[in-house]
């Protein structure tokens, strides 16, 4: 198999963030407990064509948390969304692999049904169907 999704997570929060949850599928190089330094950036990949979800949480009192959702299906359009200020950047609705970039702490610029605007279309976190 080959990579279908490249997930780029940029930590714009000024504090360490940690992956605290992964659902439905798996990433080849991301597991719960993985951390990203303040203003750091990591790229993660997966070979799945199914939906995949992950959560990153600030490692500080009053921590913020961001839920990310994405898919690169074989027979329909690429989709991604994030919770408030997950920082989803514009993405390509067709093509493989697809790159989804999230800048944690920034406004979303795209949503589940729109790769270039955010009209607040989201799916329920963990909806593996």
Beta bridge partners of 98: 5
pTM of model > 0.75: yes
Is the pLDDT assigned to residue 75 strictly greater than 80? Answer: yes
Is the pLDDT assigned to residue 99 strictly greater than 90? Answer: yes
- Please check whether residue 61 is in contact with residue 83, taking contact to mean a CB–CB distance below 8 angstroms: no
Q: Which of 57, 94, 89 is nearest to 74 (CA)?
A: 94
Angle at the Cα of 118 from the Cα atoms of 46 and 56, rounded to 5 degrees: 45
- Residues 113-120: what's their mean pLDDT? 97
Q: Are strands 35-36 and 41-46 parallel, antiparallel or unpaired?
A: unpaired
Cis, bond preceding 97 (omega within 30 deg of 0): yes
The domains of the chain are located at 5-104
Helix ranges restricted to H, 3-126: none
Q: Three-state SS for 70?
A: strand
Q: Per residue in 14-64, pLDDT tens?
A: 999 999 999 999 999 999 999 999 999 999 999 999 999 999 999 986 688
> For domain 5-104, which CATH number applies: 2.170.190.11, 2.60.270.50, 1.10.260.40, 3.30.460.80?
2.60.270.50
Gap between the Cα atoms of 60 and 27, Å rounded: 25
């Amino acid at each position: 198999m080959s990579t279908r999704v490249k997930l780029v997570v940029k930590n714009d929060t000024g504090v360490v963030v940690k992956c605290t949850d992964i659902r439905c599928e798996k990433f080849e190089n991301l597991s719960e407990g993985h951390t990203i330094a303040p203003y750091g950036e990591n790229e993660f990949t997966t070979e799945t064509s199914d939906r995949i979800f992950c959560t990153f949480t600030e490692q500080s009192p009053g921590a913020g948390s961001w839920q990310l959702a994405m898919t690169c299906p074989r027979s329909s359009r690429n989709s991604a969304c994030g919770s408030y200020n997950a920082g989803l950047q514009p993405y390509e609705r067709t093509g493989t692999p697809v790159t989804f970039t999230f800048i944690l702490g920034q406004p979303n610029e795209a949503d589940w049904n729109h790769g270039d605007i955010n009209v607040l279309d989201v799916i329920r976190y963990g909806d593996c169907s």
